[in-house]
Structure 1
Amino acid sequence: MTTTIDTRAAGLSAPTAASPYRLNFVRLVRSEALKLFTLRSTWWSLGVTVLLATGISLLVAAVTTSLPEEIRAQMTVNPMSAVVSPLQFTMLVAGILGAMAITGEYSTGMIRSTLTAEPRRGAVLLAKALIVSATLIVTTLVTSLISILVVTPIFGSDGFAWDDAELTWIPLVWAIISMATFALLGLGCGFLIRNGAGAIAATVGILFVLPIVMSLFSFGGESWQWLIDLYNYLPSSAASGLTTNPTNETVRNVIVLLAWPAASLLGGWAVLRVRDA
């Protein structure tokens, strides 16, 4: 009996070989990509984004080219305006996808495994932000190319061409950046609230509900002008300004567009550091 106990004790005290694997930042980013793309909700969201954006672009192109000549002369009608027009709708899908990218881990408890494998919580947030933003950038770029193929024949029969000197690609660049910032805004709300329904509600409220509410005060007269002015400092308003008229208040719109996701991610990082998973 004594010999058996000593043998077990010796076995327990024997040194174990160190694992050759280390979780560096590249592997952390890869693990976050695997977690995001193995969710069916991710592919549903991306599919809805592609179909919604392409369909709206097609409708806008068809409607604008069917308008009378005197009305179209007063409008900015070109292929680019049709391609970026779905932004006000697809931004909701981007924000919801960003929120679900983290709240799902809190609902299943996977966040504990994530933080155990990588105790540096800021690195976890940064890795998720990189994957989510890259996903929306690629998706928006692919969607825009599809929309271009769809609307070009419609506008081409009416004298529009993509090599027109008056046509600028700047709105498309801002549309791609805007979709990434909307997703990061949702991701930050997810880290802050840690609940899927709450994070989605907060994201939709900021991107969609607040602009509608503030626009209602335009009937209130000068006494509510301060609230109407705040409308220009909403992320959706900044994105709209950059994609429809990039030369007007560009600096302000860029700051507003980047400040919202930055604030939500910083708040999420602060909460992640001080609260248990």
Structure 2
Amino acid sequence: MTALAAAPRRATHTTPHRLSFAHLLKSESIKILTLRSTWWSLGITAGLSVGISLLIALATGEQSVGMEPTTVILAPTQFTMLVAGILGAIVVTGEYSTGMIRSTLTAEPRRGAVLLAKAIVVALTMMVTTVVIYAVAIAATAPLLGTSIDWATPADSIVPLALGVMSMACFTLMGVGFGFLLRSGAGAIAVTVGVLFVLPIMLSLFTIAGPDWMWVAESSKYLPVSAAGSLTRPGADDLLEPALTMAGWVVGPLLLGWVALRSRDA
């Protein structure tokens, strides 16, 4: 016993356990897909998108000059973008309200990896959902429109639909960024709705203020909703500027959210 007591203790050093990124993605997928709010948001998105497309098809299908089938499918984006942005916000702020974010950051102390994993899972979830919604809407509206999408012309079919899927993912990522930045569900939702819905209306009011204020109204083309409209317009060929605009609106909030996540306690 004396010898054991006299023996020097071996120093032990422990390092924080870190999850592999694959396990982190799996963890985030389980958290997000087991939330009722996620399925409610996706269900509302599907209902709005298919329902509005059907109404448009009913209203224009019997006219001699109707809307392009691709436009009918993409038109509801101006409404469903709000649900997408709100979903991204509540996925993040819900963890702060329940305190689960502390457990998440204890299991994975690399905060940038947490933000990246959550962003990837939420974006992929919205993209897959949007693809399914478009497929259902195309099948449901084709008999009413009396014509189908011309898949032989990618610029009028595949390209705008693919960019529509990407736009929905971008709206969701904006909500994720605002969620990490503000941490408050009400605050993140208010900012998301303000940027996507209120701000375009406010800028459009300057069209009646005279030519001296037209530059304010014209600046609305740099808002995410205008960029998405330009990207998803069938036959559009100038996609660089709206693509950069949309990328800026995604990277900006995510970068600010990352800074807030790293600089503040959970």
Normalising by structure 2, report the TM-score: 0.90
CA contact (8 A) 1:129 1:187 kept: yes
CA displacement at 1:246 relative to structure 2: 5.0
CA contact (8 A) 1:174 1:243 kept: yes
How do 1:79-98 and structure 2 match up within 5 A? 79-98=69-88
CA contact (8 A) 1:29 1:131 kept: yes
> Could you say which residue in structure 2 is the equivalent of 1:234?
223
1:64 paired residue among 55, 60, 63: 60
What amino acid is aligned across from residue 26 of structure 1 in structure 2? A
1:54 aligns with 2:44: no
2:93 paired residue among 63, 86, 103: 103
1:27 paired residue among 23, 41, 47: 23
What amino acid is aligned across from residue 138 of structure 1 in structure 2? V
Instruction: Find the aligned partners of 1:233 and 1:162 in 2 and give their Cα distance.
Output: 29
CA displacement at 1:243 relative to structure 2: 1.2
What amino acid is aligned across from residue 240 of structure 1 in structure 2? G
What amino acid is aligned across from residue 109 of structure 2 in structure 1? P
Instruction: Find the aligned partners of 2:227 and 2:158 in 1 and give their Cα distance.
Output: 18
Percent identity of paired positions between Structure 1 and Structure 2: 52
> Could you say which residue in structure 1 is the equivalent of 2:255?
266
Instruction: Find the aligned partners of 1:219 and 1:246 in 2 and give their Cα distance.
Output: 30
CA contact (8 A) 1:99 1:186 kept: yes
- Compared CA separation, residues 22 and 221, structure 1 to 2 (3 A): closer
How do 1:1-277 and structure 2 match up within 5 A? 23-67=19-63, 69=64, 72=65, 77-156=67-146, 160-163=147-150, 165=152, 167-245=156-234, 247=236, 249-277=238-266
RMSD: 2.3
- Compared CA separation, residues 218 and 248, structure 1 to 2 (3 A): farther
- Compared CA separation, residues 40 and 217, structure 1 to 2 (3 A): same
What amino acid is aligned across from residue 187 of structure 2 in structure 1? G
CA contact (8 A) 1:105 1:111 kept: yes
Instruction: Find the aligned partners of 2:232 and 2:189 in 1 and give their Cα distance.
Output: 25
1:35-80 deviations in Å (ceiling 9; x for gaps): 111110000000111111000010111111233x3xx2xx6x2211
For the pair shown, the structure with the greater C-alpha radius of gyration is 1
1:165-224 deviations in Å (ceiling 9; x for gaps): 454321111110000000000000000000000000000000000011111111111111
1:6-42 deviations in Å (ceiling 9; x for gaps): 9xx9xxx8999x9xx8611100011111111111000
For the residue of structure 2 that corresponds to 1:244, the secondary structure is: coil
1:242-263 deviations in Å (ceiling 9; x for gaps): 1125525411100011110110
What amino acid is aligned across from residue 220 of structure 1 in structure 2? A
What amino acid is aligned across from residue 208 of structure 2 in structure 1? F
Instruction: Find the aligned partners of 1:66 and 1:203 in 2 and give their Cα distance.
Output: 37
Q: Unaligned 5+ residue runs, structure 1?
A: none
Instruction: Find the aligned partners of 1:165 and 1:268 in 2 and give their Cα distance.
Output: 42
Normalising by structure 1, report the TM-score: 0.87
1:222-245 deviations in Å (ceiling 9; x for gaps): 111121121000000000111125
Q: Number of paired residues?
A: 257
Instruction: Find the aligned partners of 2:104 and 2:152 in 1 and give their Cα distance.
Output: 51
